[in-house]
Amino acid sequence: MLLYTIALIIHVIICVVLVLVILAQTSKGGLDANLGGAAMNVFGGSGASKLLKKWTQILAVVFAASCILLAILVRDLRGGATLSDVQQRQSQLPDAEQSAQPAESAPVQIPAEPAQAE
């Protein structure tokens, strides 16, 4: 459980950083334009776009790996349920048809003629 919590926190951090790196790229605006072109001053004319593109690719791979790791940890956390385990649990559930029957209610009275306003 502790390993899952740590992996989930790291995954959230990766997600936030990936969003920020994508927003920092210059494509008709973005975070770079909102910061007054600070990345252009720090990294040079085209250095920012190359660096941000490389970090986007790296973070995308790390994001995918972290998704797979979380899927494996969730499966192990649940006890590695197999198809037979799922079928056994489904057979123990009460029938949905029996529990879905509506309760008895009084019939709704519909007036024969609509009331006329005077």
Those residues with Cβ within 8 angstroms of residue 63's Cβ, 6 or more apart along the chain or in another chain? 11, 14, 15, 18
pLDDT value at position 83? Answer: 72
pLDDT for res 1: 79
Q: What is the pLDDT of residue 95?
A: 66
Residue-level pLDDT at 114:
65
**Per-residue model confidence as pLDDT tens digits over 32-74:** 555 555 555 555 555 568 888 899 999 999 999 999 999 988 8
- Top pLDDT among 110 and 34 is at 110
State pLDDT tens for residues 4-13.
899 999 999 9
Task: Give CA separation, 6 vs 14, 51, 79, 92, 109, in Å.
Answer: 12, 28, 19, 35, 61
